[in-house]
Chain A
Amino acid sequence: MNPLAATTRLVRAQIDNAGFVVRLLLRATLALPRLPRRLRFLLDNAFNAGVRALPVTVIVAAFAGAILAMQTGIELRRFGDTAVLGTITALSMCREMGPFITGVILAATVGSAIAAELGTMKVSDEIDALEVMSIDPVNYLVLPRVVALAVMCPTLTVLSNVVGIYGGSVIAEQNLGVSPDIYWVSAVEALTSSGTLLPKEVYVGLLKSFVFGVTIATVSCAAGLRARGGALGVGLAVQTAVRNSVILIIVLGFVITWFFYFLA
């Protein structure tokens, strides 16, 4: 095949895919008034997301916080300034690490499951069955999943932040000789220094995790709804969902940080 034609076809397919994801998000947003009818599915999906992601989130967040404290502490010890370890760990977890870790874990556990579930429904005609019953698949399948992840991603992020900071405190005390009092006081001061009810460090992180939740759900639903060709197609849908979710988590994370800390 002509390389130019192949490239054009690939770019066109990517634009088409991006357009589908955006349309899906718009349709899900427009369907929000019908959410009360989907309350049971919403709760089921939120519960499933929490149960699937909770153990991994706790383990990864604890070790991420510990590693962060360890690496930073090694350098700070050279300058005799380990008292700010709590500040650095708390800010890093709340601004970046917490939302990022939670987003990636949700993409790998829940996003992949969503893509597999909807992909299987697609290749076994269940999506067409909904269509012929005049049931909008966006309203019935996509909306509860998007809202569930939009709620669960920030919730798990809060947990991830707390566990990560705690993981850092263990290393600070055991390996770097920082007393828990100094560590926790500096951590809390760093997060409440603005004096507002919800400090910027916290709300920017939560906004990120909300955006990540919506993105993971929409991208994963889109991949599932576009699955074709049996088991192979479902496998490809899962791969696409996780890959695109992780890429978007990193890109959107950068954009939000840039906006709030450099532009706004």
Chain B
Amino acid sequence: MIEIENVHKRLGDREVLRGLSLNVPKGVNFVLMGPSGTGKSVTLKHVIGIFRPDAGGVRVDGQDVPAMDRDELMNLRKRMGYLFQNGALINWLTVEDNVALPLREHAKLASSEIDERVHQVLKLVGMDHAAKQSPPDISGGMKLRAGLARALVTRPEYVLYDEPNAGLDPIISTQIHELIAEVRDTLSVTGLIVTHSRACATQCGDRIGILEDGRLGLEGSVDEIVASDHPLARAFMGEGAD
């Protein structure tokens, strides 16, 4: 379970998070929405320990993330996957080498086992045909899918998704949303998803939280938020949203 409690964070002159609190229960895809610059990605970076809060607490399975030393953080991160907005693939490695990277660095597996796992997960995201290609030679959607494969290859308990459909056409977006839902259902992965997209929230989310002024302005199940008359819900989930 991910617990964020009354987190404050200032970046430069601006206080981005102003007392954010939210809980993500195990096995649930929690969708975090909100206008640009309200701290959605900053929230993800707190969960994985890239940022430390100025005040407040962040816990994963009861472990206090900001209090962790480097080794403890590394151990926590081995249980997590992170999908960056653009995939954040290493440019000089092929797609399969990118996906194999965390296994080659940490897992004590034979080379053949690593290859097998890599191709299994590439097949899951529909990228097996592009395994030998380099990131500069593939499209944005393919980069995202390769990034998702890399996030999943270590069989993490948690995956943090940062704008998983940013810049993608509706067909590829839908494929990505279905993948995220499939990953939750088949691998029991807990997801924290940052997005602006109504389609993403409804297709792969279980619960939705909407940020306002650096804290959670509204939270509920997908059905509750879709049916809500709250102005925030209308802005992000009403007709014409997306």
Chain A residue at minimum C-beta to C-beta distance from B78: A134
User: How far, in angstroms, from A134 to B77 measured CA to CA in the complex?
Assistant: 6
Of A120, A125, A128, A130, chain B has the most CB atoms within 10 Å of the CB of: A125
User: How far, in angstroms, from A124 to B89 measured CA to CA in the complex?
Assistant: 9
A16 within 8 A of B: no
B55 within 8 A of A: no
- Is the pair A125, B86 in contact by a Cβ cutoff of 8 Å? yes
Please tell me the number of chain B residues within 8 Å of chain A, measured between CB atoms.
Answer: 22
User: How far, in angstroms, from A125 to B45 measured CA to CA in the complex?
Assistant: 11
Q: What is the distance, in angstroms, from A225's C-beta to the closest C-beta of chain B?
A: 14
Please tell me the number of chain A residues within 8 Å of chain B, measured between CB atoms.
Answer: 13
Q: Report A32-70 CB contacts with B as 1/0, cut-off 8 Å.
A: 000000000000000000000000000000000000000
- Is the pair A125, B102 in contact by a Cβ cutoff of 8 Å? no
Known contacts A125-B84, A125-B86: A132-B77 contact under CB 8 Å: yes
Q: Report A95-125 CB contacts with B as 1/0, cut-off 8 Å.
A: 0000000000000000000000000110011
User: How far, in angstroms, from A128 to B102 measured CA to CA in the complex?
Assistant: 13
- Is the pair A126, B74 in contact by a Cβ cutoff of 8 Å? no
- Is the pair B50, A134 in contact by a Cβ cutoff of 8 Å? no
Q: Which of A126, A132, A133 contacts B50 (CB 8 A)?
A: A132
A132: which B residues are within 8 A, CB to CB?
48, 50, 77, 80, 82
- Is the pair B82, A135 in contact by a Cβ cutoff of 8 Å? no
Q: What is the distance, in angstroms, from A20's C-beta to the closest C-beta of chain B?
A: 17
B50: which A residues are within 8 A, CB to CB?
128, 131-132
B residues near A (Cβ < 8 Å) are 45, 48, 50, 73-75, 77-78, 80, 82, 84-86, 88-91, 101-102, 105-106, 150
